[in-house]
Amino acid sequence: MILESTIKIESFVLFGALGNLSIRKLIPAWYYLERDDMLNDALQILGVGRQELSKSQFQEKVNEALSTYVSAEYLDADIVSKLLNRFNYCCCDLQDSNSYQELSASINKWNKPVAYYLAISPKLFERVFDGLNSAKIITSLCRIIVEKPIGYDLASSKEINAKLLKHFNESQIYRIDHYLGKETVQNLIALRFANSLFSSQWNSKSIDYVEITAAESVGIEDRWGYFDGMGQLRDMVQSHLLQLLCLITMEPPNRLNDQSIRSEKVKVLEALKPLFEESIESNFISAQYTAGENEIGYIHEEGADITSVTETFVSIKAEIQNWRWKGVPFYLRTGKRMSNKTTQIVIHFKSDGHYIFDQDRESLKGNTLIISLHPTESISLQVFTKPYGVDKHSTLRSDPMSLDFIKTQKLLNIPSGYQSLLMDILNGNQSLFLCKEEVELAWQWCDNALEAHKKSNQELYYYPAGTNGPKESELLIQKNGHKWHEGK
Ligand code: BG6
């Protein structure tokens, strides 16, 4: 028997080939993989879209996407031409079963295992699964790739998972959260489990509290309808922030493989304390942006419903109920239209022991480890040293010991998350993809938080666009004597 995971995929079908995700993220990611000589010569990519286009018209669209979303300094005509030659196109109305027969003609010509990437609305998933099935182009060796969000709540995610599992087995299903493709996120595993300095301190005895911030400066852009139905908790926390939380807190996996990593992440999600109605006010803040100095408010964005009370910001105090993390608060914060785009994890170590310096101890809390995903991909440890000077014996200053991956690894640019995820799909490595249990447990926790919030009648707060959220978010963390880390 051939093991599914040992097969290398050489035929890739991209549904939604003319959509936002494909144009902005996937096509540029293919380019960088081509540039870095990572792609097998035999790889072919079939774009599927609704527009009637010839192969060369589609290749022209791919070319436009490259010119727009790959920085001009990296664009090389020979690489572009090599990549374009891999692309073909099939016009397909996904609602029409006849369309799948045409698709099957192209796919059968390949006569190889195929990866189907659904960069389309989840509303169409079932239609596509049934279409592929009736055209007999689902085999035991093909792979199916779906993007987050998997559903809107626990019930809908279960439905999607059930539909997937009707046609594919779990080892064929690649559920994407693009945060897991980011280099620094993958580096969390190396940082934690390859450095005894950190692994020995990674627990409630040494760690005071942890912050995870994903602040975005963008607003809703052209996605108001989609976003308003979701809100920031479902859009960002349910997968991206909870995945980061899992990687920071999981126990060491027995091996570096998908099964071990996923099962450790599942244990974290199982240990995540549900937010209850009685305590929701002190643990959960949701807010919406109003007009800022230069930006309009959420309810005045294009296509907006002026009565919307959807949150564009949340901050949460979470707890993990297990031995390692007893009593450690994990503060999660994410919002649209904040002052800067900053994605970072900050680990605050405790400062205990006998203090012998003159400097006010309060002004020098414990060491902090800042793991930055944006604007830089870097890791920096704030350490205390003596300032230079003959009269400075008993004072201290705090400075970073920093690792900036671009500089230290002499990289041209940091690969986007999608590059490594696409490679993993081709090579059959599922460790950076979510399993069914992870998705469902994360939804259960979010559903619970939203339900508790609704029942508590806690108000929706407001913050001006271009700021760091409402003052209530500051209060949430200050109540415990903690403070959000702002800046790099
Ligand atoms: C997406 C969300 O999953 O992630 C968007 O749907 C969000 O709303 C985006 O803007 C953020 O991704 P990144 O990689 O820019 O932090």
Catalytically active residues, by annotation: 240
| Element at 11 (helix H, strand E) | strand 11-15
What's the CA-to-centroid distance between 164 and ligand 1, angstroms?
A: 24
Residues of the chain with pLDDT under 70: 1-6, 361, 363, 488
Close Cβ partners of 409 (under 8 Å, ≥ 6 residues apart): none
**Which ligand 1 atom sits nearest the alpha carbon of residue 179?**
14
Distance from the alpha carbon of residue 244 to the mean position of ligand 1, in angstroms: 14
329/207 Cα distance (integer angstroms)? 10
**What is the reported pLDDT for 197?**
92
Cβ count within 10 A of residue 83: 23
Pocket test for ligand 1, best of 235, 372, 414 (most atoms within 8 A of CB): 235
Which two structure tokens, joined as six digits, stand for 424? 């993993």
Alpha carbon nearest to ligand 1 atom 15, residue? 216
Cα of 236 vs centre of ligand 1, distance in Å, is 7
**pLDDT (0 to 100) of residue 391:** 75
Tens digit of pLDDT for each residue in 273-330? Answer: 999 888 898 999 999 999 999 899 999 999 999 999 999 999 999 999 999 999 999 9
Angle subtended at Cα 406 by Cα 148 and Cα 195, rounded to the nearest 5 degrees: 80
Instruction: Compute the chain's Rg from CA coordinates.
Output: 24
Name, in order, each residue with C-beta under 8 angstroms of 193's C-beta and a sequence gap of 6 or more: 199, 252
Residue written as tokens 């976003």? Answer: 227
Query: What atom of ligand 1 comes closest to residue 235's alpha carbon?
Result: 6
State which of 20, 218, 240 you would mutate to test the pocket of ligand 1, scoring each by most atoms of that ligand within 8 A of its C-beta.
Answer: 240
Instruction: Give the whole-angstrom CA distance, residue 358 versus residue 355.
Output: 9
Index of the ligand 1 atom closest to the CA of residue 373: 16
**Which residue's alpha carbon is at the smallest distance from atom 14 of ligand 1?**
179
Which residues, including other chains, have CB under 8 Å from residue 380's CB and lie 6 or more apart? 369, 370, 372, 400, 401, 402, 403, 488
Atom of ligand 1 nearest to the CA of 417: 14
According to the 3-state scheme, what is the secondary structure of 93-126?
Answer: CCCCHHHHHHHHHHHHHHCCCEEEEECCCHHHHH
Tokens 């002004």 found at: 363
Ligand 1 centroid vs 99 CA: distance in angstroms? 32
The string of DSSP codes covering 185-227 is: HHHHHHHHHH-HHHHTT-STTTEEEEEEEEE-S---TT-HHHH
pLDDT of residue 1: 47
The ligand 1 atom nearest the CA atom of 240? 3
Protein residue with least CA distance to atom 9, ligand 1:
236
Residue nearest to atom 13 of ligand 1 (CA): 179
What is the model's pLDDT at position 111? Answer: 81
Q: Which two tokens stand for residue 300?
A: 């005045």
Distance in Å, CA 465 to ligand 1 centroid: 18
Report DSSP state, residue 46.
E
Closest atom of ligand 1 to 374 CA is 16
Q: How many CB atoms lie within 10 A of CB 380?
A: 20
CA distance 405 to 373: 11
Distance 237 CA to ligand 1 centre (A): 11
Residue of 180, 183, 216 best suited for mutating to test ligand 1, as the one with most atoms within 8 Å of CB:
216
Report the DSSP beta bridge partners of residue 143: 115
Cα–Cα separations (whole angstroms), residue 200 to 193, 194, 252 = 10, 11, 12
Is cis: bond before 149, omega within 30 of 0? yes
- Distance (angstroms) between ligand 1 centre and the Cα of 418 equals 13
Whole-angstrom Cα distance, residue 471 to residue 68?
39
- Token pair, residue 173, equals 């299903």
Name every residue whose Cβ is closer than 8 Å to that of residue 451 and which is 6 or more positions away in sequence.
none
**What is the structure's pLDDT at 408?**
80
Give the DSSP H or E segment for 44.
Answer: strand 44-49
Separation between Cα atoms, residue 138 and residue 108, nearest integer Å:
11
Residue having the nearest C-alpha atom to atom 7 of ligand 1 = 236
Q: CA-to-CA distance for 112 and 10, rounded, in angstroms? A: 7
Tell me, rounded to whole angstroms, the distance of Cα 465 from its chain centroid: 23
240 C-alpha to ligand 1 centroid (Å): 8
CB distance 336 to 299 below 8 Å: no
Q: Which atom of ligand 1 is nearest to the CA of 227?
A: 8
Looking up tokens 């793991």 gives 371
Q: Which amino acid is at 442?
A: A
Proportion of the chain in helix, strand, coil states, percent, rounded to 5: 40, 20, 40
CA 354 vs. chain centroid, Å, equals 41
Give residue 131's pLDDT: 95
Our mutation pick for probing the ligand 1 site, out of 152, 236, 418, counting the most ligand atoms within 8 A of Cβ, is 236
Residues framing ligand 1 (Cβ under 6 A): 214, 216, 235, 343
231 alpha carbon to ligand 1 midpoint, in Å?
12
